[in-house]
Chain A
Amino acid sequence: MADNNTPFEQEVAALIVEALNLETAAEEIAAEQPLYQEGLGLDSIDMLEISLAVSRKYGFQLKSDDPDNAATFSSLRNLARHIEKNRIK
C-alpha cells in the first residue's frame, strides 16, 4: 500500500504511529495521503502531539508563524521533507 515510501518517510510514519498510539501500521501510511482530517483523520490535537514528538526526536520546533505549515502538515511526504530540512539531530 505504501511501497513508494522512502526509508525516512517510514521512520516518520513510525514516529506518528507511536506518538498517536494508532491502530494503523506505519507501513500502511501512504506518503501522499493527507494526514489532517480527511485522510488519516487526525485532528489538531493529534497534529500538536506529532509536533511535540518531532521536537523531541529531531531537536527543532515547528513554529506557529511558519507560512508553510499547511503544506507541512498536508502529507507524510511533506512532513518528512520539512523535518529533513530543519532537523538538528
Chain B
Amino acid sequence: MSRTWLGQRERGSLLLMRLIAWIALELGRPAARLLLVPISLYFLLFSGKARQASRLYLRRVLGREPGWLDSYRHYFCFSATILDRLYFLSGRHASFDIAVNGIGPLLACLQRGQGCVLLGAHLGSFEVLRTLAVQFGKVPFAMLMHTGNAHKMNAIIDGLNPAMAGSIIAMGSPDGLLRAREVIDAGGIVGILSDRVRPGDKTLPCRFFGFDAALPVGPLAFASIMHAPVLLCFGLYRGKRRYDVHFELLAEAIDAPRARRREAIHGYLQQYAGRIEHYCRIAPYNWFNFYDYWQPF
C-alpha cells in the first residue's frame, strides 16, 4: 500500500496540516507563512519517495531537468495551499484576492434547480470554492471522498466551521452514493476530486503529459446515472494572496448506458485529463499528487 497515495501522502499532509493549523489560527497568515520555509525545506530533504515523484512530474511539465529550486517551489506551493485551506474552511477569506473565471454554466444549473457534479483534482486548492458560497445561496454542497480521508476531513472541518459539518460524504459504500444522489436530487452540488485511484477502482488509461495514467471511471459513471451536468473546477494558487478559480462545462449530460459505459466515459475522462494538463502548464507547482502518477494499476 505504501506505493499509493493512501499509504504515503496523507500521513505526511495530515501531520503538516495539524502543525500549520495551530500556528495559522493562533498567529495569523504572515507568521504562518514564515514557517512554510523550514517546513518546505524539511520535506524537501526528508521525503525521498515524494521528491522523486515530484521530480518526475516536474520534468514532464517543465520539459527540462528540474533543479532543487523547482522542488522547493513545488513543496512551498503545496504547504501554502494547505495553510490557506484553513482560512477558506473557517470562513476567513476576506483578505484573499480571488479571480473567478467561467462560473456562468454552474450558476445557470443552480438557478434552474439542476443538481450537478463538480470535478476537481489535487491541483491547487479545491477548497477555495468554499469562498464562493455566497453565490451558491442555499444550495446543498457535499464532497465525495474516500472513506478514511472523509472521516479525518470531517473531524478537521467540524472543528473549524460547524456550519459545514456533514458536508463530506464517504465514497465506497452504498450509503455514500445514496447521500450524493439526494444532494443532486435537491439541486445541489457534489464535488469530487477524481484524479486519484484506489486499489479496486475501475479505471481507464488517459494520456497525461504524453504517458498513460489510470483515472477512475466512478465519478463520471455517477454523473451519467444521475443525468447530471458535469463541470470542472480548478483553483490555482498564483502566489501571495492570489487564487484563480477556473470553471468549465465538461458535459450537459453523459449518455453512458451500461452496455457501452466505458467507451462513452473514456472520451470525457480523457478531456478531464487534458484540462488538468492544461492548467498544470499554467501553474506547474500546483500539482499535488506526490506519488508516481503514471504507475500501472
The answer to whether the Cβ of A44 comes within 8 Å of any Cβ in the partner chain is yes
Chain A residues near B178 (CB-CB < 8 A): 48, 51, 62-64, 69
Within the complex, what minimum Cβ distance (angstroms) separates A51 from chain B?
Answer: 6
Complex Cα–Cα for A49 and B218 (A): 12
The answer to whether the Cβ of B222 comes within 8 Å of any Cβ in the partner chain is yes
Within the complex, what minimum Cβ distance (angstroms) separates A41 from chain B?
Answer: 11
With contact pairs A21-B258, A51-B181, A64-B182 given, residues A45 and B225 touching in the complex (Cβ less than 8 Å):
yes
Cβ–Cβ contact B174 & A36, under 8 A: yes
Which positions 45-64 of chain A face chain B at CB distance < 8 Å? 45, 47-49, 51-52, 62-64
The answer to whether the Cβ of B135 comes within 8 Å of any Cβ in the partner chain is no
Cβ–Cβ contact B181 & A48, under 8 A: yes
Q: Which A residue's beta carbon lies closest to that of B222?
A: A45
Chain B residues near A36 (CB-CB < 8 A): 174
Contact code string B229-253 (vs A, CB < 8 Å = 1, else 0): 0000000000000000000000000
Complex Cα–Cα for A65 and B175 (A): 7
Complex Cα–Cα for A65 and B182 (A): 11
The answer to whether the Cβ of A20 comes within 8 Å of any Cβ in the partner chain is yes
The answer to whether the Cβ of A43 comes within 8 Å of any Cβ in the partner chain is yes
Q: Which listed residue (B222, B258, B259) contacts A48, Cβ 8 A?
A: B222
Name the interface size band of chain B: 10 to 19
Chain B residues near A45 (CB-CB < 8 A): 177, 218, 221-222, 225
Cβ–Cβ contact B221 & A44, under 8 A: no
Complex Cα–Cα for A43 and B202 (A): 10
The answer to whether the Cβ of B2 comes within 8 Å of any Cβ in the partner chain is no
Cβ–Cβ contact B258 & A47, under 8 A: no
Q: Which listed residue (A20, A21, A48, A65) contacts B174, Cβ 8 A?
A: A48
Chain B residues near A20 (CB-CB < 8 A): 258
Q: Which A residue's beta carbon lies closest to that of B174?
A: A47
Contact code string B19-60 (vs A, CB < 8 Å = 1, else 0): 000000000000000000000000000000000000000000
Within the complex, what minimum Cβ distance (angstroms) separates A7 from chain B?
Answer: 25
Complex Cα–Cα for A20 and B179 (A): 20
Complex Cα–Cα for A48 and B182 (A): 11
Q: Which B residue's beta carbon lies closest to that of A42?
A: B174
Chain A residues near B182 (CB-CB < 8 A): 63-64
Q: Which listed residue (B171, B172, B218, B225) contacts A52, Cβ 8 A?
A: B225
Point out residues on B near A: beta carbons under 8 Å: 171-179, 181-182, 202, 218, 221-222, 225, 258-259
Point out residues on A near B: beta carbons under 8 Å: 20-21, 36, 43-45, 47-49, 51-52, 62-65, 69-70, 73
Give 5 A-B contacts (CB < 8 Å), ordered by A residue. A44-B218, A51-B178, A64-B176, A64-B178, A65-B179
Given A44-B173, A69-B178, 9 more contacts at CB 8 Å? A43-B202, A44-B174, A45-B177, A51-B178, A52-B181, A63-B182, A64-B181, A64-B182, A69-B174
